[in-house]
Every structure is written in structure tokens, then in C-alpha cells.
């Protein structure tokens, strides 16, 4: 799903707990995306280094080179290749964290195995420098979360400690090597945590700026730009799911007269109250309330239940009327009311674009105004006289037609 839908869903989560969980999952995806070029380059460089070391071993250590080259060729290089593929192949992206975690652990263990093979051939007991290089890669370049990185490094380090003790190395050599590896872990963990927190702070700032850019300053609901981005992305998503979109154009009746009577400050407060009222009707993460312009709002429902399509329009009228906001100059009622133009379409089936669907709802809105305001009109996306139905305020007896919504 496009990012704008994902981001709006997290901004509009029902509870603070859901919001926190959603933000954390979105942050981890964002972090992987931002570190992806660095991770890809580091993994490819690792493959080159491993291939070069194998060539050096074949030239200088013929007694151990065949087996160590086999470990590198059969385990380490395929692991690195799979890690790179998890970054670029859409089919593997959902499992990229698990693949990166398992891959770096496997490379670390393979490095330990190479050191053990060298030890059996009279070389130093374990490749400490190579292992430190693996740990540096794990902490700095793989792009995993801080906790997953600690877990991977912990598994590698534990295997190293077990291997060096099992190798029977002199106590001093074992102690110094283990101290170096422990120190590399400490330094790497501090820097990894700093990178993780810096990334989190950058993400929060990005979200705040994005939210400010997507919110109407007066009413705090979505602005026109956010409506266009979200509705276009949601259109594609519902088309993929074979779902439907409910679109409701909402206009405050006789708002100019309200401003003339009560002043613009009262008008601003009225807009805020209506926006809050509409937000109360919308509760699911992918649904949206936005200010389309002036006193006109739009409500978008993602794949609404059949029984809720008309009920939502009725509830919008009832909720705004229930505010009992005085409007003495209104020829419709003594309080603020709204007219609603509604439609429900299947993307790609009933309409070719979100613009066509919004135009359909807008036509229904004008019909509601022509019929006397303080009501909703529902327009079906079929070219027939019976495709237009209307309802008196707060009442609906219409049923869905053969449009299949």
C-alpha cells in the first residue's frame, strides 16, 4: 500500500496503544528504507572482501585453503547474496528482517568455523580480526533494530567464546582475544544505539512535518492536499482488494449568512465544531475527514459495510444538527445544518478515477441543496433515472440497487 495511506492510518489509529504500535512498525520500515543503500553497498563489499581473502588463502595457506574456501563459497557468500536479495526482491521484503538477522549470524558463525579450521592447521586459534569486522558490519551497516542487532551480535559472540575456549588456546591469548571482541561489542552497541535513536528522532520530525503539511490549520482535519494524496492511494488499494469507497461531500448550509450574522471568529469556531463532529463519525484507520475548501468537507470511508453506506450520511446530518449551534439567519432551521452528497463506488468498475467519484458525490451535494438543504442525497454510479435517491433529514428508506455496492 502506498506510504501516504500507511502514514495516515497510523496518525488516525483508534487508541494510543494502537497508535504507538503502528508508529513503531512504520518507523522500523522507514529505518530499513533509509539504511537500504548503505546496507546493500556494505553487503556487496563484504562479498568482495570474502572472495579476496579466499584467493589469498589459496595462495599462501594451501593446507587449509580448500576447506575454508568451501565454507566461504557454500555458506558465507550465499548468505550475503540472500541478504542482498531480501532488500531488492518484493517477494522477500516482508521477511527481510529475519533474513538479515539470520544471515549476519550465519556469516559470523562461519567466520568462527574458518578460524577453527585454521587452528587445526597450526595457525592462530581463531580469526579475531575477521570476527570483529563481522561485528562492525552487524552494528553499523545491516540496518536492523537495536534489539535485533544486539541479539545477533550476542549469538555470534557466545559462539566465539565457546569456540576459543574449546580450542584450548593459552589462557592469556584467550583472555586478550575475548577482551577485544567484548570491547568491539561495547563500542558497536553504543554507536548502534546512537544511530537508532538518531533515526527515531529524524522519523518523528518527519512525521510532525508531514502531519503539519497534511492538516488543515483551522480545523485539524486533513487538508485538500492530504485528501487528494490519500484518496488517490486508497483508490488504488481498494481496486487491488476489489473493495469500495464511500465518498460524502458535506457543506454547511447558509454559512455566509452565519458569518455575516455572528462574525468570522464565530464562523471559525463553527467550522471547528463541525469538523470534530464529522471526525466522530469516522473511526477506522483508513477512513478520512478533510476540509475540501471553505465550509465544504469530505468524508471518505474505505470499503464500508453495505448497511452503513446510507447510515453514515444520515449520521452526519444528525450529528451536526445535534450540535444545536444557533443560526438565526438560516432559512432552513434555527441551528446549523449540513447538506450531504454521497456515493459509493467500486474503483475501476463503477468509476475510472477518484476524481470521477468525487464529482459524482459533488453532483449529489448540489441536488441536496436544490431540494431544500438539511438532507443528504445519494447518487449511485449507474446511468439511470433511478440512480439518484434522496432522503429527508435524518431518515433513509433507500436500499442499494443493482450497482452491487
What is the tens place of the pLDDT at every residue in 371-405? Answer: 999 999 998 876 534 444 445 454 433 333 323 33
Q: Identify which of 189, 111, 210, 85 has the alpha carbon closest to the alpha carbon of residue 145.
A: 189
Distance CA 81, CA 84 (A): 5
Rounded mean pLDDT for each run of 10 residues along the chain, 405 residues in total: 46 45 78 88 91 81 74 91 91 90 94 81 66 91 92 95 82 84 93 92 86 86 91 90 92 93 93 92 85 93 86 92 91 92 90 90 93 90 50 40 31
Helix (H), strand (E) counts: the chain: 13, 6
Helix (H, G, I), strand (E, B) or coil at 349: coil
Cβ pair 378, 356 in contact under 8 A: no
Count CB neighbours of 223 within 10 A: 20
Which helix (H) or strand (E) covers residue 342, if one does? strand 338-345
Q: Output the CA–CA distances (angstroms, integers) from residue 179 to 127, 131, 175, 259, in the order listed.
A: 14, 13, 6, 75
Q: How far apart are the first and last CA of the chain?
A: 22
Architecture of the domain delimited by 224-391: 2-Layer Sandwich (3.30)
pLDDT in tens, 127-154: 678 888 899 999 999 889 999 999 999 9
Q: Where in the chain is the domain with CATH 3.30.70.270?
A: 224-391
Q: Dmax of the chain from CA atoms?
A: 99
Provide the annotated active-site residues: 295
Question: Per DSSP, which regions of 257-330 are E strands?
Answer: 288-293, 296-302
Beta carbons within 10 angstroms of residue 2's beta carbon:
14
Residue 405: predicted pLDDT: 33
* 11, containing H or E segment: helix 3-11
* CA distances from residue 111 to 42, 115, 141 in whole angstroms, order as listed: 17, 6, 18
Report residue 244 as a C-alpha cell: 469500495
Given this model, what pLDDT does residue 385 score? 41
In 160-317, the DSSP E strands lie at 245-252, 288-293, 296-302
Q: How far apart are CA 348 and CA 130, in angstroms?
A: 56
Predicted confidence at residue 291, as pLDDT, reads 93
> Residue 343 belongs to what H/E stretch?
strand 338-345
Report the C-alpha gap between 12 and 210 in whole angstroms: 14
Q: Tell me the C-alpha distance between 31 and 306, whole Å.
A: 39
Task: Report the alpha-carbon distance of residue 64 to residue 200 in Å, rounded.
Answer: 46
Query: What is the reported pTM?
Result: 0.63
Quote the CA–CA distance of 279 and 357 in Å, as a whole number: 21
| Distance (Å) of CA 347 to CA 94, 182, 247, 338 | 27, 57, 12, 27
Amino acid at each position: 500500500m502506498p506510504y501516504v495511506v500507511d502514514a495516515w492510518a497510523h496518525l488516525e489509529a483508534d487508541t494510543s496503544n494502537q497508535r504507538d504500535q503502528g508508529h513503531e512498525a512504520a518507523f522500523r520500515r522507514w529505518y530499513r528504507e533509509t539504511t537500504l543503500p548503505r546496507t546493500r553497498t556494505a553487503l556487496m563489499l563484504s562479498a568482495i572482501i570474502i572472495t579476496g581473502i579466499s584467493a589469498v588463502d589459496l595462495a599462501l595457506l594451501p593446507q587449509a585453503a580448500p576447506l575454508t574456501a568451501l565454507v566461504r563459497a557454500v555458506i558465507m557468500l550465499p548468505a550475503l547474496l540472500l541478504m542482498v536479495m531480501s532488500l531488492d526482491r518484493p517477494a522477500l521484503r516482508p521477511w527481510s528482517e529475519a533474513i538479515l538477522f539470520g544471515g549476519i549470524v550465519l556469516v559470523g558463525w562461519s567466520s568462527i568455523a574458518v578460524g577453527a579450521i585454521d587452528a587445526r592447521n597450526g595457525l592462530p586459534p581463531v580469526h579475531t580480526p575477521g570476527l570483529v569486522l563481522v561485528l562492525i558490519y552487524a552494528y553499523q551497516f545491516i540496518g536492523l533494530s537495536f534489539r535485533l542487532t544486539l541479539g545477533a551480535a550476542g549469538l555470534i559472540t557466545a559462539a566465539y567464546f565457546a569456540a576459543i575456549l574449546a580450542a584450548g588456546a593459552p589462557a592469556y591469548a584467550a583472555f586478550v582475544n575475548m577482551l577485544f571482541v567484548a570491547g568491539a561489542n561495547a563500542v558497536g552497541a553504543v554507536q548502534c544505539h546512537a544511530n537508532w535513536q538518531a533515526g527515531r528522532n529524524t522519523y518523528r520530525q518527519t512525521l510532525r512535518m508531514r502531519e503539519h503539511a497534511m492538516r488543515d490549520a483551522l480545523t485539524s482535519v486533513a487538508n485538500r492536499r492530504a485528501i487528494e494524496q490519500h484518496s488517490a492511494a486508497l483508490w488504488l488499494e481498494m481496486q487491488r482488494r476489489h473493495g469500495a469507497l464511500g465518498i460524502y461531500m458535506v457543506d454547511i448550509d447558509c454559512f455566509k449568512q452565519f458569518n455575516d450574522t455572528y462574525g468570522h471568529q464565530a464562523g471559525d469556531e463553527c467550522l471547528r465544531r463541525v469538523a470534530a463532529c464529522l471526525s466522530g463519525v469516522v473511526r477506522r484507520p483508513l477512513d478520512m475527514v478533510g476540509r475540501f475548501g471553505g465550509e465544504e468537507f469530505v468524508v471518505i470511508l474505505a470499503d464500508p459495510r453495505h448497511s452503513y453506506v446510507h447510515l453514515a450520511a444520515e449520521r452526519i446530518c444528525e450529528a451536526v444538527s445535534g450540535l444545536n449551534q444557533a443560526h438565526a439567519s438560516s432559512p432552513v432551521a434555527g441551528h446549523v445544518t449540513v447538506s450531504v452528497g454521497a456515493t459509493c463506488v467500486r474503483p475501476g468498475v463503477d468509476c475510472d478515477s477518484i476524481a470521477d467519484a468525487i464529482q459524482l458525490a459533488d453532483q449529489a451535494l448540489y441536488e441536496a441543496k436544490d431540494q431544500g438543504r438539511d438532507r443528504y442525497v445519494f447518487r449511485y454510479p449507474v446511468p439511470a433515472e433511478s440512480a439518484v435517491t434522496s432522503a429527508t433529514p435524518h431518515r433513509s428508506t433507500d436500499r442499494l440497487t443493482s450497482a452491487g455496492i
